[in-house]
Amino acid sequence: MKIPLRDAGAISIGIELVVSVIIGLVAGAWLDRRFATGPWLTLVGIIVGSAAGFRSLIKYGQRAQARAEREEQQDAANAATAKEPSKTTDPSNDPDASSSEPTAPRD
């Protein structure tokens, strides 16, 4: 099963959020054992890990929004060019076009 690139980005940001919280938890627990500070550094580690994960989530959301806006602008530009009439005109329909045939004077 192949995962589309957009879905892969969403999956990776979810994994990044979880991993950053786990790293903060483990680092805080290690510091608590090292300095005998109780649960305080573990809590700080969880908060810092959560902040880092949410920062990544926000950046991903901003990139996704910018990508969506670019695609929307491209779609609008493509729709506008599809609606424009052709630049080439048929000389028989153009009253200002000079014809190569001589015309007889009108009475």
Average pLDDT, the chain: 84
Copy the structure tokens of residue 62. Answer: 């901003």
Cα–Cα distance measured from residue 75 to residue 81, given in angstroms and rounded to the nearest whole number: 10
- Complete DSSP assignment for 23-81: HHHHHHHHHHHHHT-TTHHHHHHHHHHHHHHHHHHHHHHHHHHHHHHHHHHHHHHHHHH
Choose among 13, 19, 15: nearest CA to 49: 19
- Nearest CA among 65, 32, 34 for reference residue 46: 32
pLDDT at position 44 is: 97
Tens-digit pLDDT profile for residues 88-103: 555 555 555 555 556 6
Express each pLDDT in 59-89 by its tens digit. 999 998 999 999 999 998 888 888 766 555 5
**pTM of whole model > 0.85?**
no
Q: What is the predicted pLDDT for the residue at 7?
A: 73
Neighbours of 24 (CB within 10 A): 22
